[in-house]
Amino acid sequence: MENIAKVINRSSNGHKMASEQSDKKDLGKGTKAVHSGTSPSENSLNTPVYQSSTFFLDDNAYQMWQAGTPRAPVYSRYNNPSMRAVEKKVAHLEGAEDALVFSTGMAAICTTLLTFLSQGDRIVTTRNLYGGTIISLDQDFTRFGIDVHYVDVKDLDAVESALKEKETKILYCETITNPLLEISDLPELAKLAKKYGALPIVDSTFATPMGCQPLDHGFDLVLHSVTKLLNGHSDILGGTVAGSQDLIHQIWYKLRNFGGSMDPHQASLLERGMKTLHVRYERAVTTASQLAAWLESH
């Protein structure tokens, strides 16, 4: 049986990941949802559950660990083939170079934001967000000395005024807001963020990669709570972030330190759920359209 370190090593290779992303860019989203990320061993159609906390070290794995290389194949908090398969699937669906998975959506959000925010830094966002995000921003981020500035992101003039007023590290919003279902103008928000040197980050949980790919609209990082539509079966919690390899590597170090890692069994269930994402999304859109038409006529 293939050495576990080699399996993780292969799946950890960033250049191979970028090459695979390029190879798959012309495939349909449904094909990506089913086949991306899989690296079957022993001719298994599905990725095995690598239910192991630690792994044997070969020379290459030891050198990676000693050098502090992201995802060194040592410990499942650092990397695990079951997790890596899902990360690659998310990255391919989002058109990203790389991705990470987390134990919960809030772990993904907080770890990502705290990678780039320090005491005295400013984040511009909106109060029309998922409630858990607002609670954390109000109760935790402010306690760390981070300036959280709220603005109506539908008002682009107000957003520009806020970005112009004071140096801002992050502009944060949601593609479709939870729970009010308002739509953010991602291309214009991304332009404003980059005009004033802010990092544009979006939570695209409600849109999923089937409905919107924020990286194509100028955003640098896209988050999801996989608890909802990406998994689709209401049997796990989880989160993910996708973006450039450089940004994802920076976030990985904080994921390693904070410990919000997804476990292999979660990852296996998520991989199963994502294989039907395209079918579930199409049915949801069809049903919603029919319901809207019926309500409009009554």
Give the active site residues.
77, 130, 203, 228
Instruction: Name, in order, each residue with C-beta under 8 angstroms of 67's C-beta and a sequence gap of 6 or more.
Output: none
Beta partners for residue 170, in sequence order = 123, 199
Q: How many residues does the chain have?
A: 298
- Decide: 92 and 209 in contact? Cβ < 8 Å: no
CA 173, distance to chain mean position in Å, is 14
Give burial (CB, 10 Å; 0-12/13-18/19+) of 170: buried
What is the rounded distance in angstroms from the CA atom of residue 147 to the CA atom of residue 255?
23
- CA–CA separation, 250 and 231 (whole Å): 26
Dihedral over Cα of 95, 210, 271, 99: its sign: positive
Measured CA to CA, the distance from residue 267 to residue 290 in angstroms comes to 34
Three-state DSSP class for residue 121: coil
Q: What share of the chain is helix, strand, coil (3-state, %, to 5)?
A: 50, 15, 40
Q: What is the CB neighbour count within 10 angstroms for residue 227?
A: 19
